[in-house]
Structure 1
């Protein structure tokens, strides 16, 4: 059964390098002039959110931590995408090096991938975003992130299951236009099997919180797919077939 939810402001918490730019464009195509992007630093973000709370807003998207619903006067629900943390960090590292306009470009150009892993603020980014944490992360923040997902997020998609995630979002929010082309893809980056085992081991060590959060969210998504009724499962198969042939 499809239950369309349009009575709440949709907050797309766009975690970097998780296919969020592709999702952002899909969302914009469905909400048009009532969708607003808030890609601002914290000092400017609060002022922008307060001004948006006075407007007819259907959707807000941006690189911001969990908690912005507190600045809005209407009921809200969140969505996001999570990605395999090892792949996400590698993609982010090479994306920053390629992007000359990125605020960290000059700094990261001086770092090897192994040195990049020593930047605590670049590790466990997904846990930081979903928990809304400030400062050093602890396991408590992971538990907060899990609770936030269960209480405030309608759907947490998985990058490696993008089309399945998109199908659930489409049905949940009544999106009509879900055609897309992949956006903001990191080019000229090595695959996982080209990264040394030592580096991969260190990546896993430095992203333990994100790995657990990712697996938690993936299990929830898979359970949503299992719980679909027979008609919806048939529609999913049709949707996947069409999406794979785009």
Structure 2
């Protein structure tokens, strides 16, 4: 368990379309307002030392390495998602968000052209975020093992919330669903050639996701009988 206090910093590395926006509403309930900051990496870097030194939790679309801005001990948390499902969700999310900055570039693109146009967000994006930039699978695995107190799975969101609560001794488990992609087809209705192209472009992310699944399952299996019963009750009530 990560013992929280004012001299330690929790960093939520928010990867797009992994249920991070919903998770942020959950995380914010664990701290007083002045102890948290959520936003972009650029805006965080623009803060003064006086503005950052009192923070206990930050979150945003960061890359690994943002902890180097802070002198206090830190730990990361994140959510990972099946790479194919994440990219399918991202595509239809942009197509249905006229207010999004990338909408005009994306609105008339077929899926294959979209993958080529938005390659930085659709090619091993999760691996590069976890390494800090380089698409290096072994470095990403090392960071997850050594520098992340918790790695959740979008597909097992409620279990992830429960385990995160246990890891940080949080009490408030309420959250609000946000940024849900509507009007998107089930992955089974996406053409096979598109699925194959996504898989070819995300071989590292596929491996990293399988690695995270294994870590997640080991964490579940390590729970004692009482905690497993609590988890079962949590799942029944949500």
1:40-59 alignment, distance < 5 Å: 40=41, 42=42, 44-48=43-47, 50-54=49-53, 56-59=54-57
Aligned counterparts of 1:49 and 1:232: Cα–Cα separation in 2: 42
Residues 121 and 4 (structure 1), Cα distance of their counterparts in 2 relative to 1, 3 Å cut:
closer
Q: Which residue of 1 aligns with 2:203?
A: 208
In the TM superposition, residue 47 of structure 1 has moved relative to its aligned partner by 2.1
Alignment of 1:147-158 (within 5 A): 147-158=142-153
Q: 1:132 maps to which residue?
A: 132
Rounded Cα–Cα distance in structure 1 between residues aligned with 2:13 and 2:4: 17
Question: Deviation of residue 180 (structure 1)?
Answer: 2.4
Q: Which runs of 5+ in 2 are unaligned?
A: none
Q: Which residue of 1 aligns with 2:22?
A: 22
Q: For 1:49 and 1:64, how far apart are their aligned partners in 2? A: 18
CA contact (8 A) 2:11 2:75 kept: yes
Query: Relative to structure 1, is the Cα distance of residues 152 and 108 closer, same or farther in structure 2, using a 3 angstrom cutoff?
Result: same
- Structure 1 residues 230 and 74, CA, compared in 2 at 3 Å: closer, same or farther? same
> Does the Cα contact within 8 Å between 2:25 and 2:176 map onto a contact in 1?
no
Which residue of the partner structure matches residue 185 of structure 2? Answer: 190
Secondary structure at 2:32 match in 1: helix
Q: Deviations over 1:60-119 (max 9, x none)?
A: 010110111000121111100001100100110111122223221111113111111223
Q: TM-score, normalised by structure 2?
A: 0.93
Deviates more, 1:78-87 or 1:232-241: 232-241
Q: What is the CA–CA distance in structure 1 between the aligned matches of 2:236 and 2:17, rounded to whole Å?
A: 25
Provide the C-alpha distance between the structure 2 equivalents of 1:151 and 1:50, rounded to a whole number of angstroms: 27
Distance 1:151 1:19 in 2: 23
CA shift in 2, pair 1:149/1:49, >3 Å: farther
The reply on whether 1:229 has 2:230 as its aligned counterpart is no
Partner of 1:99: 97
Q: Distance in 2 between matches of 1:166 and 1:146?
A: 22
Determine if contact 2:26/2:176 at 8 Å carries over to the other structure: no
CA contact (8 A) 2:26 2:172 kept: yes
Q: In the alignment, what sits opposite 2:120?
A: 121
1:241 and 1:181 map into 2 onto residues whose CA distance is: 18
Q: Distance in 2 between matches of 1:129 and 1:52?
A: 25
CA contact (8 A) 2:9 2:57 kept: yes
CA distance in 1, matches of 2:57, 2:14: 12
TM-score by length of 1: 0.90
CA distance in 1, matches of 2:80, 2:192: 23
